[in-house]
Structure 1
Amino acid sequence: MSLSRAILMGWGVLAMLVLSGCNQNTENAQIPAPQEPDGDAMGYYCGMLVVNHSGPKGQIFLKGRDDPLWFSSVRDTITFTLLPEESKAIRAIYVNDMGVATNWNQPQPGAWVAAKDAVYVVGSDQSGGMGGPELVPFSDKAAAEQFQAAHDGTLYTFKDIPQSAVLGEPDMSPEKRKRGS
């Protein structure tokens, strides 16, 4: 084998390695768009139909899956990210944007925001999909503040949500919880 042919083969192998690395990075960088729950979307933890629950919902896309895991509440969605036994191979997390939603019970198609980009009202008087306390997400801070003024609670970013607000014992007293309006 001539020296020039060996150099060409070496460059060819190097180019294939670089390109295969680029393909992996491109594949990992592709973030799926949010989907809409259909009549078959089952809540990951409750095993019930997501569309039968009121309030904001969530979805998590994992690596190696085309379809999201569905959650009947935002609280359940965030819980998944905190539990050590759940997959950390998360590609995307979406929650209903309640500043865009016109109906608390069933947010309309397209009312989604990336969970890490949302502002959350925690500790409001609004109940989530399973009747418990809900973390209410908004893509717009002003909308979150307006909701907070009407329904109480505290504003948090995704990374600052207290673990106790997600995994703590819910206050189910009638004075604290009321059904969403």
Structure 2
Amino acid sequence: MRFTVATAILAATLVLAGCQKEEDAMMPSPYALTADAMGRYCGMNVLEHPGPKGQIILQDIPEPIWFSSARDTVAFTMLPEEPKDVAAIYVSDMGAAPSWGEPGAQNWIDATKAFYVIGSKVRGGMGAEEAVPFSSERAARDFAARNGGQVTGFEEIPKDYVLGTGASEYGAGIETESHGEAQTHG
């Protein structure tokens, strides 16, 4: 009897693991960030803005839609007028970024599995509040300890934080991060 139960549990685990691998295999790989990347909402070169970037790949379009910030990437998923046939959503892993000004060309993580710091004193592209993504919850908590804010998951990012304007209840500041430390700009 014990052997049968153990075998059934093992079989169920293998089936679930197989489903996860199949889901990951169906998700297209991220594209490397290049100087040709133009932001969906600002129409500017993505590299002209500091902080984390994003890309969304639609099911029937073989090119990414680029975003100058992780926050804009999340906004795309919340806006009713944007396409919903999303195949993959990627954001910069700021825990692996060389610096705030250089978020990296290939350190992309699945946006739906990232840990975000919202409401920090650090500002993203265009001086806006940012949802700063990390692959590691520990790295996100360390960033929040240094720069304020709270750690949340993709699904828990408040719609008013992403789509609102100006300072919010999640935190306010006018700083950008440079070489791991926040710098005030006036």
Q: Same fold (TM over 0.5)?
A: yes
| Larger gyration radius, structure 1 or structure 2 | 1
Whether 2:146 is the aligned partner of 1:139: answer no
Q: Which amino acid aligns with 2:173?
A: K
Distance 2:91 2:130 in 1: 12
The one-character-per-residue Cα deviations of 1:3-25 (angstroms, maximum 9, x if unpaired) are xxxxxxxxxxxxxxxxxxxxxxx
Deviation of 1:90 (Å): 0.2
The one-character-per-residue Cα deviations of 1:4-48 (angstroms, maximum 9, x if unpaired) are xxxxxxxxxxxxxxxxxxxxxx8xx62111112212111000000
Runs of at least 4 residues off by over 4 Å: none
Gaps of 5+ in 2: 1-21, 179-186
Identity of aligned residues (%): 48
2:174 aligns to what? 177
Distance 1:109 1:43 in 2: 15
The one-character-per-residue Cα deviations of 1:62-96 (angstroms, maximum 9, x if unpaired) are 01111100000011100100000000000000000
Gaps of 5+ in 1: 1-25
Q: For 1:144, what is the secondary structure of its paired residue? A: helix
Q: For 2:142, what is the secondary structure of its paired residue? A: helix
Q: For 2:121, what is the secondary structure of its paired residue? A: strand
Distance 1:159 1:38 in 2: 28
The two structures, once aligned, show a CA RMSD in angstroms of: 1.8
Deviation of 1:129 (Å): 1.3
2:153 aligns to what? 157
Deviation of 1:106 (Å): 1.3
2:10 aligns to what? none
Distance 1:134 1:61 in 2: 21
Choose from 87, 93, 97 the match for 2:89.
93
Distance 1:41 1:95 in 2: 14
Distance 1:111 1:130 in 2: 22
Distance 2:132 2:52 in 1: 7
The one-character-per-residue Cα deviations of 1:152-180 (angstroms, maximum 9, x if unpaired) are 001110001111110111229xx721122
Query: How many residue pairs get matched?
Result: 153
Q: For 1:55, what is the secondary structure of its paired residue? A: coil
